[in-house]
Amino acid sequence: MEGSPGEAARPKRIAYVLPVYNEEENIAVFQTALAEATAQRPDLEFEFVYVDDGSRDASLEQLVALRQQDPRVSVVQFSRNFGHQLAVTAGLDLVAETDGADAVIVMDTDLQDPPRVSLEMIERWEGGVDVVYAQRRTRKDTFFKRATAWWFYWALDRLASIEIPRNVGDFRLMDARVVAEIARYREHDRFLRGIVAHVGFRQEALPFDRDERYAGKTGYPLKKMLNFAASGILGFSTAPLKMISRLGFAISAFSALLACYVLFVRLFRPEESVPGWAFLGVGMFMLSGIQLVMMGVIGSYLGRVYVEAQDRPLYTIAMVARDSASAVPRRH
Ligand code: UDP
Ligand code: MG
């Protein structure tokens, strides 16, 4: 950052980390828009790190073609589809490992995140902010997506041990020191926006209007969205585990009251009988239902422990095309 006086002349370097999954119709338009936007800052050096997350269409070929036109484009190819969060992680790792940039911007490649907003992020960063995250003022997603997102953020807000800002995706700028710190978080079920919040430093929101996807369809169907939501809650909160014991106490207290009632009727009202089997049946089903749900909660945490204990590599890279690529592969 400060460096010796000789270094002061070096232009600041900004790396864009751009995850790609089946975006053949978007890539060229996106890169043109991004190149146009970044051309407004000739005083900065840019690198565009595209991570192809095992696309099944012609995305990779398009990326390679982009690189031939513009050497600032780097391409990382995954051996298969590892998911958006890992694609972003791989891009961040690459930049962190090679001392590649003073700041990194993560954005989607479907033109939902407007490139011009990233320029505003750079200005904020130059003003001394370490993390500038884009906060959706409006979003043009379906009602269903907006409703589920709202519930998810509500639950996360109440449960998570740290404050994770609402309506914030992964579109953000991070200073190099934040990126270096994130590289030390090696959990497998990743929820990057939680990790960034956990890292700290000076973070600010930048409101923006999220556009519609330019072409193609979302790579986040409902199942992936639910898994992702679970990663957010399980990864940043043990509240569900605590809720189990609280519920256990509540049910125990309730049954103690019931026992008192039965005892009272037996001792002091022998002429009345305690009506029994219907209540028992309902109680039995309810309790076993609750118990199964609770075992599920424990199971979810256990599953995470298992995955972490296996400690497999987070992702596998098939190919890197980059000018300053470090040839040494590292275990992730
Ligand atoms: N993406 C990815 N791997 C996946 C799914 C998506 O790298 O398995 C990329 C995708 O190309 C896009 C970004 O992640 O650049 C966001 O995905 P998408 O637009 O499908 O999600 P949405 O905006 O609908 O939440
Ligand atoms: Mg999108």
How would DSSP label each residue in 71-138? TTEEEEEESS---HHHHHHHHHHHHHHTT--SEEEE--SSSSS-HHHHHHHHHHHHTT-SEEEEEEEE
Best residue among 57, 86, 108 to mutate for probing ligand 1's pocket (most ligand atoms within 8 Å of CB) is: 108
Cα-based torsion angle of the residue sequence 228, 232, 234, 236 in order, rounded to the nearest 10 degrees:
160
Which ligand sits closest to the CA of 19?
1
ipTM value, please give it.
0.94
Q: Considering the entire predicted model, what is its pTM?
A: 0.78
Best residue among 24, 57, 84 to mutate for probing ligand 1's pocket (most ligand atoms within 8 Å of CB) is: 84
Report CA Rg, the chain.
26
DSSP state of 24: T
Specify the pLDDT at position 10: 82
Is any atom of ligand 1 closer than 6 Å to the C-beta of 81?
yes
Q: Which candidate, 139, 141, 259, 125, places its Cα nearest to that of 179?
A: 125
Distance from CA of residue 22 to its chain's centroid? 19
Specify the pLDDT at position 275: 66
Which ligand sits closest to the CA of 109?
1
Is any atom of ligand 1 closer than 6 Å to the C-beta of 169?
no
Comparison of pLDDT for 288 and 51, the residue scoring more: 51
What lies within 8 Å, CB to CB, of 260 at 6+ separation is none
Specify the pLDDT at position 328: 41
**How much is the average pLDDT of 24-51?**
94
Question: Is the pLDDT confidence value at 272 over 80?
Answer: no
Question: Is the pLDDT confidence value at 102 over 90?
Answer: yes
Least confident range from 7-11, 60-64, 168-172, 258-262: namely 7-11
DSSP state of 273: -
Q: How confident is the model at residue 161 (pLDDT cuts 50, 70, 90)?
A: confident
Specify the pLDDT at position 8: 59
Is any atom of ligand 1 closer than 6 Å to the C-beta of 113?
no
108 Cα–ligand 2 center, Å? 6
Specify the pLDDT at position 213: 76
Best residue among 16, 17, 21 to mutate for probing ligand 1's pocket (most ligand atoms within 8 Å of CB) is: 21
State pLDDT tens for residues 113-157: 999 999 999 999 999 999 999 988 777 777 887 888 888 888 877
Judge contact between 73 and 66, C-beta under 8 A. yes
